[in-house]
Structure 1
Amino acid sequence: MSSRFSRVSFHTDTVERFKQYAIENDVNYTETLEAMLDFFEKHSIDPFVPFDNSIHSLKLLIDKRMDAVVAILRQIEREQTKPTKEMLDRLFEKQSESKPMYREKKSFGRDTQ
């Protein structure tokens, strides 16, 4: 099945750049233009907005989110993990056997009957 062709007018400099790009990638003009359009549509990139700004703003957004995650993890460590570990350490540490804290009172000489 043959596709129909149509004409579009471009500036001569643009046509030369486009031809050179297609030759470098070893594809025909239609495939080159379709690949370019697919790329912009797939990645939701507006070719009229500077690309560096969009990547930079995305990087800043990700950095802010990562900072927030780090802050949450530090808060969890400070308020939950460390106090829990300290309580468990105190619970399981060996009691010193030097002197008993309480002594049982014994009645000497009395019979309990």
Structure 2
Amino acid sequence: MDREYKKEQFETLKIKSSVAKKFRRFSRAISKSQSVSLLLMIEFFEEHGISPAESMGPKMQTLEHLIKKRINGVIAILKDIEKGQTKPTVAMLQSLFEETAPKKQPLILERKFVEKKKEVRLPAGEAGFQEKRNPNNEL
């Protein structure tokens, strides 16, 4: 018996002898006293919100297999969403916000007017003579 329940009194429960033998075997198997074994069972049912009359369905291994299968399905859906929606959207946003060097365009500057040498022309009616220079025969 556990120390915390040492000072408590025993109560009698009326159960069938076959059930009592089965319960005693179960109590020895989990290495607890019969009182603590019964208390653990009651707390388990209360904590998990199940009734002993309800069926737990398939064994735990089958449930584990089903849960893993569903998790793998969720992972596949998330990967598909990532490939089809998230990555393209991120790529588009990055291309919009990506800093690229602006194209260099020549600056528009004021043109400076250079004065050309004015040709000297004689007024109309006056004769003028100009020699043509020969590029081969320089004077």
TM category (shorter chain) comes to: 0.5 to 0.7
Distance in 2 between residues matched to 1:56 and 1:64, nearest whole Å: 12
User: 1:7-26, aligned counterparts within 5 Å?
Assistant: 7-10=15-18, 14=22, 17-22=25-30, 24=31
Give the direction of change, closer, same or farther, for the CA distance of 1:82–1:43 in structure 2 (3 Å limit).
farther
Partner of 2:83 in structure 1? 74
**Letter matched to residue 82 of structure 2:** L
Q: How many equivalent residue pairs?
A: 102
Partner of 1:94 in structure 2? 101
- Aligned Cα root-mean-square deviation (Å): 3.7
Q: Which has the higher contact order (CA 8 A, sep 6+)?
A: 2
Matching residue within 29, 35, 60 for 1:30: 35
Distance in 2 between residues matched to 1:37 and 1:48, nearest whole Å: 20
Deviations 1:34-84 (Å, cap 9, x if unpaired)?
A: 423543561759456322111111121122112212322333323311111
Partner of 1:61 in structure 2? 70
Matching residue within 13, 35, 54 for 1:5: 13
Give the direction of change, closer, same or farther, for the CA distance of 1:35–1:19 in structure 2 (3 Å limit).
closer
CA contact (8 A) 2:27 2:34 kept: yes
CA contact (8 A) 1:19 1:29 kept: yes
Partner of 1:111 in structure 2? none
Distance in 1 between residues matched to 2:42 and 2:67, nearest whole Å: 22
Distance in 2 between residues matched to 1:65 and 1:8, nearest whole Å: 49
TM-score w.r.t. structure 1 length? Answer: 0.58
**Structure with max Cα Rg:** 2
Displacement of 1:12:
9.2
Distance in 1 between residues matched to 2:14 and 2:21, nearest whole Å: 20
TM-score w.r.t. structure 2 length? Answer: 0.50
